[in-house]
């Protein structure tokens, strides 16, 4: 050990009495200062110019780590540039000895080869630690700039950066053993580091080697730690890389010192590599991986509700079967080369249930894509699929035909899309991909699908027979997008609910439903239908009643006994960029209690858009506790009993014609205790707020789908949707302004680098004199 330390000291003295070490240190300091002050200034500006709450939480992550999931924080940016530093430092470690001939003196010395290699590597570890201390300067500065800074997140990130630096140093040390030319060693190190980053994408379509090459890839390994999650497989990976290249370095130098048969020499290399591959492979198996979430609010771990669901599943077998259609435009997301990426998406769940079974079924079948058949006119489905298999360079024989698939599962209701089927204790449910940028299910959708396997499913039943809105239709009045559209992430069927319809002309209301929805009936209820609904209400059933302007007479027989009425006329809210009958209502404190997501939207003052809405009235007569959920803006909207006109710019408030200003409720919730449970009822003066509206082109931020799904969740007694929110972090503001950032720039971009430069120049001059 003393020899190793002595060699490390000697190597460090050589390193620091040369300009390159100081030059890289100064550049590193300047780069860190530039990135830190840039991120700090950006988010100070965003906080000053935006009310978006996303800019006011998790500031440690945004400045140091992964803002909005992108590698633009200080540590993540620095991590992506480390490969530029280490080859310049390591290229001379052994090459210098080879070119000067001093390697012969080392061979003839009593020192062991392993001591030489370990001593030189120790010197690089110390230099790497100095680089970490430079980063530590900005951690100290950050602790003053960000109250309640997340030290766990930062320390985890620093560990990841340090391990990456050491891995790069081991690679560079080995390449330095191969040549006497330092420049060649440096360039070779760049190439090998690129190969280690790229190897994870090689042969991913071959089952035998997929896991081994993926386990060797260095790409993204430190990102987990920079995000705050430390896992044994990532730590062991870096140790394995260091083990491989230090071992190869020792064997290479030993080959120049001793004479052994070629088979023995090659055997040592093979044994070293195989042992490293085996360690890396075994350590990455889900059942052997251990995790530590270093973040303050544990945002790298499943939410509390998701963890409870995994506990409910327990040790019973859970299987995830992916059905992937080669004719589906999402096929590339599920092709064999994406298997490891798929398992990475499931890693948060494998952490709590490592024995999840994954299987993949590839097939071909018709898809709702008219352009596909136009491009391939005259070809059979099999011929088209065969052409696609050639294009993707896959064996067509592995794809099952439509007839074979029918014997396994019927995917026509799923439009023959890429879909996952979860199987647990004889129950199955689908987990889908969606038509948005994210595509794959998030924790909310995945948790909802898992929960469906363990609980009695909430049934939302829509009444039909009076020309009500259809939850499954495709016409303009349909509520399909919110309720039963399998391609929309936030639809009820993707958030855990079962959605159906019922006609009461020849059926009774089932007792096991969670809620009955009466959505904008157009004709009067027949006496027997009205009686069945009243009986359901009297029995304590949960209910939602929605209407549209002009339909108050139809709803009165139902809502009047509850103490609710409909105001004459319609609400209008003139604006330049939308129709006057589009009313932007505000959520009340009662609405904010529906869910944490609604509460967040309420705190951000987001509105609920209601196109064509009636005002409601109510009286507290003791039968129900009635609370408004949505209210109009008294300053911008009013109740008009006459025509609203078509030109919103010419609309004026006119009390003489009967216009009435004031905040008016447009959605109410009614609660009472009956038959030993709480009955929940929602009444709204609009039904189109249940349609998914996109008003971003009009620069209007609304929270309709969050409010809508939370309403159905409240009606189903909170079983769904699954609340996957985590507590907000405390680091939500800065203790520094723009002027402070300017001063900080002068310090970290000017004074500190200049001081370090002056110190290095004086030291080198003193060394030169000696």
Digit-coded pLDDT (tens) for 259-277:
777 777 788 889 998 898 8
pLDDT at 204: 65
**Number of H helices and number of E strands within the chain?**
30, 20
Question: pLDDT of 328-359, one tens digit each?
Answer: 999 999 998 888 889 889 999 999 999 999 99
What whole-number distance in Å separates Cα of residue 447 and Cα of residue 309? 7
Q: How confident is the model at residue 285 (pLDDT cuts 50, 70, 90)?
A: confident
pLDDT higher than 70, residue 616: yes
- Work out the angle at residue 46's Cα, subtended by the Cα atoms of residues 45 and 47, and round it to the nearest 5 degrees: 90
3-state secondary structure 358-403: EEEEEECCCCCCHHHHHHCCCCCHHHHHHHHHHHHCCCHHHCECHH
What whole-number distance in Å separates Cα of residue 666 and Cα of residue 615? 5
pLDDT higher than 50, residue 432: yes
What whole-number distance in Å separates Cα of residue 612 and Cα of residue 634? 17
Is the dihedral angle over the CA atoms 136, 138, 144, 145 positive or is it negative? negative
Cβ-based burial of 697 (10 A; exposed 0-12, middle 13-18, buried ≥19) = exposed
pLDDT at 577: 74
Is the dihedral angle over the CA atoms 565, 569, 572, 578 positive or is it negative? positive
pLDDT at 520: 93
List the single range of 80-89, 453-462, 703-712 with lowest mean pLDDT: 80-89
pLDDT at 106: 74
Query: Is the distance from CB of 107 to CB of 257 less than 8 angstroms?
Result: yes
Which candidate, 324, 320, 318, 319, places its Cα nearest to that of 419?
A: 324
Around 227, how many Cα atoms within 13 Å sit in the side-chain half-sphere? 19
Mean pLDDT of 321-327: 96
List the single range of 516-525, 696-705, 755-764 with lowest mean pLDDT: 696-705
pLDDT higher than 90, residue 56: no
What whole-number distance in Å separates Cα of residue 62 and Cα of residue 71? 10
pLDDT at 429: 96
Answer whether 0.85 is exceeded by the pTM: yes
pLDDT at 648: 47
Three-class SS state of 281: helix
Cβ-based burial of 358 (10 A; exposed 0-12, middle 13-18, buried ≥19) = middle
Mean pLDDT of 362-366: 95
Q: What is the distance of C-alpha 352 from the center of its chain?
A: 18
Which candidate, 301, 310, 322, 324, places its Cα nearest to that of 224?
A: 301
607-611 and 616-618 as β-strands: parallel, antiparallel, unpaired? Answer: unpaired
Neighbours of 381 (CB within 10 A): 17
Q: What are phi and psi of 528, to 5 degrees?
A: -70, -35
What whole-number distance in Å separates Cα of residue 146 and Cα of residue 127? 29
For the chain, the average pLDDT equals: 89
pLDDT at 622: 80
Residues in the chain, total: 770
Cis peptide bond upstream of 721, omega within 30: yes
End-to-end CA distance of the chain: 30
pLDDT at 367: 93
pLDDT at 643: 57
Query: Is the distance from CB of 223 to CB of 71 less than 8 angstroms?
Result: yes
| Both tokens assigned to 270 | 């093979």
Place of tokens 């230099």: 127
Bridge partner list, 231 = 291
| Both tokens assigned to 677 | 């449970």
Compute, in degrees rounded to 10, the torsion defined by CA atoms 318, 324, 329, 332.
80
pLDDT higher than 90, residue 155: yes
% the chain with pLDDT above 70: 95
Q: CA-CA distances (angstroms) from residue 693 to 135, 438, 582, 688?
A: 46, 19, 11, 9
What whole-number distance in Å separates Cα of residue 682 and Cα of residue 668? 6
Three-class SS state of 545: strand
Enclosing H/E stretch for 124: helix 113-145
Question: pLDDT of 647-704, one tens digit each?
Answer: 444 577 788 777 888 899 999 999 999 888 899 999 999 999 998 666 655 557 788 9
Query: Is the distance from CB of 660 to CB of 638 less than 8 angstroms?
Result: yes
What whole-number distance in Å separates Cα of residue 549 and Cα of residue 289? 59
Query: Is the distance from CB of 12 to CB of 724 less than 8 angstroms?
Result: no
Around 327, how many Cα atoms within 13 Å sit in the side-chain half-sphere? 27
pLDDT higher than 90, residue 517: yes
Question: pLDDT of 11-28, one tens digit each?
Answer: 898 888 888 899 999 999
Place of tokens 């939370």: 710
What whole-number distance in Å separates Cα of residue 450 and Cα of residue 89? 51
Cis peptide bond upstream of 315, omega within 30: no
């Amino acid at each position: 050990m003393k020899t190793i330390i002595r060699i490390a000291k000697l190597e460090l003295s050589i390193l620091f009495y040369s300009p390159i070490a100081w030059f890289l240190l100064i550049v590193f300091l300047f780069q860190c200062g530039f990135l830190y002050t840039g991120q700090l200034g950006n988010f100070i500006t965003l906080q000053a110019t935006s009310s978006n709450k996303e800019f006011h939480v998790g500031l440690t992550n945004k400045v140091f780590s992964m803002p909005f999931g992108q590698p633009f924080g200080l540590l993540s940016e620095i991590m992506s540039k480390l490969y530029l530093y280490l080859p310049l430092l390591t290229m001379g470690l052994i090459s210098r000895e080879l070119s000067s001939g001093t390697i012969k003196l080392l061979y003839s010395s009593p020192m062991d080869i392993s001591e030489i290699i370990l001593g030189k590597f120790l010197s690089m570890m110390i230099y790497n630690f100095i680089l970490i201390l430079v980063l530590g300067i900005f951690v100290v500065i950050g602790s003053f700039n960000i109250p309640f800074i997340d030290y766990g997140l930062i320390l985890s990130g620093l560990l990841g950066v340090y391990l990456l630096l050491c891995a790069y140093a081991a690679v560079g040390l080995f390449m330095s053993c191969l040549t006497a030319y330092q420049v060649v060693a440096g360039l070779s190190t760049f190439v090998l580091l690129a190969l280690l980053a790229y190897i994870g994408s090689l042969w991913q379509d071959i089952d035998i080697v997929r896991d081994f090459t993926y386990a060797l890839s260095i790409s993204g390994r430190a990102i987990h730690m920079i995000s705050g999650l430390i896992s044994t497989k990532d730590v062991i990976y870096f140790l394995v890389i260091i083990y491989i290249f230090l071992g190869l370095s020792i064997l290479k130098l030993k080959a120049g010192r001793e004479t052994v048969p070629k088979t023995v020499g090659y055997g040592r290399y093979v044994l070293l590599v195989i042992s490293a591959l085996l360690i890396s492979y075994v350590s990455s198996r889900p059942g052997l991986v251990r995790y530590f979430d270093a973040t303050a609010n544990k945002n790298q771990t499943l939410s509390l509700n998701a963890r409870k669901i995994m506990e409910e599943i327990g040790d019973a077998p859970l299987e995830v079967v992916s059905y992937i259609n080669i004719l589906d435009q999402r096929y590339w997301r599920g092709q064999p080369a994406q298997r490891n990426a798929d398992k990475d998406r499931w890693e948060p769940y494998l952490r709590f249930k490592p024995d999840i079974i994954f299987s993949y079924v590839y097939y071909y079948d018709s898809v709702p894509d008219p352009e596909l058949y136009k491009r391939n006119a005259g070809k059979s489905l099999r011929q088209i699929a065969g052409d696609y298999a050639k294009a993707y360079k896959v064996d067509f024989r592995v794809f099952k035909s439509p007839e074979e698939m029918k014997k396994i599962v019927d995917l026509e209701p799923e439009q023959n899309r890429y879909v996952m089927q979860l199987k647990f204790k004889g129950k199955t449910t689908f987990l889908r991909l969606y038509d948005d940028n994210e595509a794959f299910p998030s924790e909310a959708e995945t948790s909802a699908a898992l929960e469906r396997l363990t609980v009695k499913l909430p049934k939302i039943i829509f009444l039909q027979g009076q020309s009500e809105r259809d939850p499954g239709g495709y016409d303009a009045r349909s509520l399909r997008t919110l309720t039963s559209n399998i391609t929309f992430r936030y639809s009820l069927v993707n958030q855990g609910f079962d959605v159906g319809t019922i006609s009461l002309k020849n059926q009774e209301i089932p007792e096991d439903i969670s809620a009955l929805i009466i959505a904008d009936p157009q004709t009067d209820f027949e006496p027997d239908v009205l009686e069945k609904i009243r009986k359901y209400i009297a029995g304590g059933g949960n209910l939602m009643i929605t209407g549209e302007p002009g339909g108050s007479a139809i709803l009165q027989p139902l809502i009047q006994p509850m103490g609710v009425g409909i105001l004459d006329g319609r609400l209008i809210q003139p604006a330049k960029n939308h129709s006057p009958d589009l009313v932007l209502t505000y959520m009340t404190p009662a609405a904010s209690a529906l869910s944490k997501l609604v509460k967040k939207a309420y705190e951000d003052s987001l509105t609920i858009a209601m196109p064509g809405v009636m005002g409601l009235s109510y009286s507290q007569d003791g039968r129900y506790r009635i609370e408004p959920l949505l209210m109009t803006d008294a300053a911008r909207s009013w109740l008009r009993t006459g025509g609203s006109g078509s030109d919103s710019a010419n609309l004026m408030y006119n009390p003489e014609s009967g216009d009435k200003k004031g905040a008016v409720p447009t959605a109410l919730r009614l609660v009472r205790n009956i038959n030993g449970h709480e009955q929940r009822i929602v009444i709204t003066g609009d039904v189109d707020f249940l349609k998914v509206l996109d008003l971003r082109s009009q620069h209007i931020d609304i929270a309709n789908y969050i409010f809508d799904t939370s309403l159905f969740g409240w009606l189903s007694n909170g079983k769904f949707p699954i609340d996957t929110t985590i507590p907000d972090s405390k680091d939500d503001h800065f203790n520094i302004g723009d002027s402070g950032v300017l001063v900080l720039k002068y310090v970290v971009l000017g004074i500190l680098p200049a001081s370090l430069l002056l110190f290095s120049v004086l030291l080198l001059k003193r060394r030169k004199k000696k």
